[in-house]
Structure formats: structure tokens, C-alpha cells
């Protein structure tokens, strides 16, 4: 009789454990907190890509970055993939830099001429846009502490590495559609400006 009560107790405990496990499994599969993922854009989409913005409701197809210009100085290759003038009076230029050399690259000759500012080391701070028609040179914008509104290559760019970069400039006049991007000892790269939509 004692054995019979023990077996009944074990069966009850087992049934409760199985029911609890099934209940937790069903609750876990319900996706309670994931409905945000269904309504939001794909997490692989770039945060800001003005070139792919469209007015229709269809999702954007994956596109490769368009190369506007390329420049090379020794083992360092610069690619410009975007040069967008926005309504706030700025131009944001972006792209990639590749170190195909055998040692770390620190962008020493890209940082700019200012001696009083230390926050721009290993950056694109020395870059400029040159408007040949308007005969003007536009330098990278700075924040209130003198740091450039540009990429800083913290720790440098390792051998074989390709990293993204950006730089913000004051926008040239609306009738200027083409400028030369210059940085360090890189040959100038002529780029066409596009408008932010």
C-alpha cells in the first residue's frame, strides 16, 4: 500500500513537471516582445543612407556602394562612396580607406595643420573640398572644442584592414556640383555632389 501511494505521487509530480514544461515552451514561442522586429526596418539597413531613400512603400533592394572616386598613395587606398549636400548647409563625404601595406597606418599626414588642437590626431581632419570654379577651399567643420566632425582612426588602420570614414564640410553654393576632395599626400579626387532628399 505504501508503494502504491509513492507511485501515484511520482506520477503526479511527473505530470505536473511535463505540463509546466509545455506551458513554458508555448509561452516562449509566443514571441511576446518581438512584434517590434516585424514593423521596423531590417537591422542590416544602414542608419543613414540618403542615396537609397525613396518615396514609395516598397522595401529597398540591397545595393552596392557606388564608387564616386578613388585615390592611392603608396599602400593606402581611399575610396569615396558618397558626397551628399543636406538642407542644413553641410556636405557629408564618406567612403573607405584600405591599408594594403605591411605595417600599421596612423593617418599622420591626414590630421591637419592646427598645432593647438590635440583631439584630431589619427583622423581625416586635414581634408578639404576645393571648388575650382568658385576658387574656394572648404575645411572640415569643428565642434566647439575644436575636434573635427570626421572619423578618427583610433588605434590606426591595421595591415590588410579596410575601414569606413566620413567628414563634414560647409556646403559650397548650389550651382557647384563638383568639387575636389584632398587629404594628406593623396592625389585630389574629383567628386559629384548629390542632394539629400
The pLDDT value recorded for residue 62 is: 42
The pLDDT value recorded for residue 42 is: 40
Quick check: 108 and 120 in contact, CB under 8 A?
no
What span, in angstroms and rounded, lies between the C-alpha atoms of 156 and 47?
24
The pLDDT value recorded for residue 45 is: 40
What mean pLDDT comes out for the span 135-156? 88
- What is the pLDDT of the chain when averaged over all its residues? 74
CA atoms within 13 Å, Cβ hemisphere of 66: 13
What span, in angstroms and rounded, lies between the C-alpha atoms of 179 and 188?
10
What mean pLDDT comes out for the span 61-87? 84
How do the residues of the chain divide into helix, strand and coil, expressed in percent and rounded to 5? 20, 30, 50
First to last CA, the chain: 83
The pLDDT value recorded for residue 11 is: 56
* 155: Cβ contacts below 8 Å, ≥ 6 apart: 122
**pLDDT of 59 over the 90 cut:** no
The pLDDT value recorded for residue 137 is: 94
**pLDDT of 24 over the 80 cut:** no
Quick check: 148 and 125 in contact, CB under 8 A?
yes
pTM above 0.85, yes or no: no
98-121 burial code (b ≥16 CB/10 A, e <16): bbeeeeebbbeebbbeeeebeebb
Question: 71: closest CA among 195, 155, 189?
Answer: 189
What mean pLDDT comes out for the span 52-74? 64
The pLDDT value recorded for residue 158 is: 92
Which pLDDT band holds residue 123 (cuts at 50, 70, 90)? confident
Which tens digits make up the pLDDT trace of 97-112?
999 999 998 888 887 7
Question: 195: closest CA among 55, 84, 92?
Answer: 84
**pLDDT of 9 over the 80 cut:** no
What mean pLDDT comes out for the span 184-189? 90
Amino acid at each position: 500500500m505504501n508503494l502504491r501511494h509513492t507511485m501515484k505521487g511520482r506520477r503526479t509530480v511527473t505530470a505536473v513537471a511535463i505540463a509546466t514544461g509545455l506551458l513554458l515552451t508555448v509561452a516562449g514561442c509566443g514571441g511576446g516582445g518581438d512584434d517590434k522586429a516585424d514593423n521596423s526596418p531590417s537591422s542590416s539597413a544602414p542608419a543613414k543612407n540618403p542615396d537609397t531613400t525613396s518615396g514609395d512603400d516598397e522595401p529597398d533592394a540591397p545595393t552596392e556602394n557606388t564608387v564616386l572616386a578613388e585615390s592611392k598613395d603608396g599602400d593606402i587606398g581611399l575610396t569615396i562612396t558618397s558626397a551628399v549636400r543636406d538642407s542644413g548647409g553641410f556636405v557629408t563625404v564618406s567612403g573607405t580607406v584600405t591599408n594594403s601595406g605591411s605595417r600599421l597606418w596612423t593617418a599622420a599626414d591626414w590630421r591637419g595643420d592646427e598645432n593647438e588642437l590635440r583631439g584630431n590626431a589619427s583622423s581625416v581632419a586635414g581634408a578639404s573640398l576645393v571648388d575650382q570654379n568658385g576658387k574656394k577651399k572648404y575645411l572640415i567643420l569643428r565642434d566647439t572644442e575644436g575636434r573635427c566632425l570626421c572619423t578618427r582612426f583610433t588605434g590606426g588602420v591595421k595591415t590588410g584592414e579596410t575601414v569606413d570614414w566620413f567628414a563634414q564640410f560647409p556646403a559650397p553654393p548650389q550651382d557647384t556640383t563638383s568639387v575636389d576632395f584632398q587629404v594628406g599626400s593623396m592625389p585630389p579626387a574629383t567628386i559629384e555632389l548629390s542632394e539629400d532628399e
